[in-house]
Amino acid sequence: MTSILLPEAEAEIEAIVHEAAGSKSPLAIHGGGTRDIGRPVQAARVLSTQALTGITLYEPSEMVLAARAGTKLSEIEAALKANRQRLAFEPIDWRPLLGTRGEPTIGGVTASNAAGPRRIQAGAARDHLIGIRATTGRGETIKSGGRVMKNVTGYDLVKLFAGSWGTLGILTEVTYKLLPEAETETTLVLEGLSAAHAVEAMSAALGTPFEITGAAHLPGSPSQTLLRFEGFSASCAYRRDRLAAHLKPFGPVTAVEGDASQALWRPIADVTALGAAADDAVWRISVKPSDGPAVGARLEAELGSRLLYDWGGGQIWASTRDQGDAGAAIIRAALSGGGHATLVRAAHATRAAVPVFEPEPAAIAAIAEKIRAEFDPAGVLNPGRMG
């Protein structure tokens, strides 16, 4: 029977971690519990940040927001929306893909460092995160960064914590810089391109000064290649015309504006556009964009994968049968030229048997291990979750 601990303050978390480290009894760290990703953690107790809530700072004129880790993402997004601001990295809502319930928290967004289609232009969570507080496996609460946009004071532990999946410490408070919402957006759609042509078209568009904030390719019949830009309406109209002319060699272009454009991107961000069967495994593959089509073709041929290309071809979502290694050997062999693959969705048994995250070269793994040992010497925080 798993027991759930719901501390309401850093001091309580420190006490829990002290005790856990002393007795070498591991803790599984949860936010909203919507991201069941990574190696399953064997722990008798769950430490949930759900009772550690509240926006602690929001200065719209300074474009900065801080919140305790368990604050619901929906609460933060509502506060930002009221001031026409946003977290520019387009946080992913994992619930539709993973079939999880509950409410994503800002701590979980940070610990997973996920980002949607706007990653290509705006960066990931790690690029917008400017400050953290976290209780390490030593039971000590540290801070790094702060609330200002430019800060090189000391080591950037902020970046190290983004995407650390609760293995270095328990995030207790995070501070993000914000960006204004765009006045409007436009998506240009090309139909019927092969993946190889689509990546060429996306590269051509991303090489223009028109500030593309989404570049995705949905195979299918017909396939759709989508290019998004955002900004003031006059500027979007100008870029629409220039970009359409630029993309003429790739075929006819249709423009989708405003709300209709927005509706195209949510399923891409949340990966429902992949259309994976309910019992399929789902991989996220990150490669050099021009390598994307060849990797995708191999997965289609050898694993019968459905594919979704995002980030101009640099991020591929792929379905595989959730059997055996769920395609791990073939996928990772396809990445011998560089890149990495994460098994985002699969049965616990599969994820316990297959390295969920790309195995690292020995020298890098050794560095990561040394660093992790300095933060969590007893190895009690989400042990094994990152492999």
Partner 1 sequence: MSAILMPKPDERVLARRDAIIAGLAALLPAASLITEEDERRAYETDALTAYRQIPLAVVLPETTEQVSAVLKFLSAEGVKVVARGAGTSLAGGALPTADAVVLGVSKMNRILEIDTDNRIIRVEAGVTNLGVSGAVNHLGFFYAPDPSSQLACTIAGNIAMNSGGAHCLKYGVTTNNVLGVKMVMIDGTVVEIGGAALDSAGLDLLGLVVGSEGQLGVVTEATLRILPLAEGARPMLMGFQSAEACGACVAAIIGSGIIPVAIEYMDRPAIKVCEAFAHAGYPLDVEALLIIEVEGSEAEIEDLIGRITTIAAAFNPSTMKVSQSEAESAAIWKGRKSAFGAMGRIADYMCMDGTIPTGCLPQVLTGISDICAGYGLQVANIFHAGDGNLHPLVLFNANQPGELEKAEAAGADILKLCVEVGGCLTGEHGVGVEKRELMIHQFNTIDLDQQMRVKTALDPKWLLNPHKVFPLEGRPV
Looking at residues 326 to 345 of the shown chain, list those that interact with partner 1 (rule: CB under 8 A): 338-340, 342
- Among positions 75, 77, 183, 302, the unique one binding partner 1 when judged by CB under 8 A: 183
Does 144 help bind partner 1 (rule: CB under 8 A)? yes
Tell me if 273 sits within 8 A of 319, measured CB to CB.
Answer: no
Report the site for partner 1 in 61-80 (rule: CB under 8 A). 61-64
- Among positions 143, 266, 298, 321, the unique one binding partner 1 when judged by CB under 8 A: 143
Tokens found for residue 346: 């699969």
Please identify, using beta-carbon distances, which residue of 135 and 261 lies nearer to partner 1: 135
The Cα–Cα gap between 148 and 322 comes to 45
Does 181 help bind partner 1 (rule: CB under 8 A)? yes
Q: Which residues pair with 85 in a beta bridge?
A: 180
Name the one range near partner 1 by CB under 8 A: 4-12, 44-52, 181-189, 244-252: 181-189
3-state secondary structure of 290: helix
Please identify, using beta-carbon distances, which residue of 168 and 170 lies nearer to partner 1: 168
The CB-of-1 to partner 1 minimum distance in angstroms stands at 32
Report the site for partner 1 in 222-281 (rule: CB under 8 A). 232, 234-235, 238, 242
- Among positions 223, 290, 300, 330, the unique one binding partner 1 when judged by CB under 8 A: 290
Please identify, using beta-carbon distances, which residue of 48 and 328 lies nearer to partner 1: 328
The Cα–Cα gap between 199 and 19 comes to 52
Does 137 help bind partner 1 (rule: CB under 8 A)? no
Tell me if 213 sits within 8 A of 228, measured CB to CB.
Answer: yes
The Cα–Cα gap between 10 and 13 comes to 5
How many amino acids of this chain bind partner 1 (CB under 8 A)? Answer: 85
The CB-of-25 to partner 1 minimum distance in angstroms stands at 23
Burial 191-201 (b: 16+ CB within 10 A, else e): eebebebbbbb
Report the site for partner 1 in 115-134 (rule: CB under 8 A). 119-120, 123-124, 126-127
Report the site for partner 1 in 95-114 (rule: CB under 8 A). 113
Tell me if 63 sits within 8 A of 177, measured CB to CB.
Answer: yes
Report the site for partner 1 in 159-178 (rule: CB under 8 A). 159-160, 162-164, 167-168
Tokens found for residue 127: 């690029």
**Quick one: which of 32, 95, 105, 119 has its CA closest to 270?**
95
Tell me if 8 sits within 8 A of 52, measured CB to CB.
Answer: yes
Does 190 help bind partner 1 (rule: CB under 8 A)? no
Tell me if 386 sits within 8 A of 165, measured CB to CB.
Answer: yes
Please identify, using beta-carbon distances, which residue of 72 and 133 lies nearer to partner 1: 133
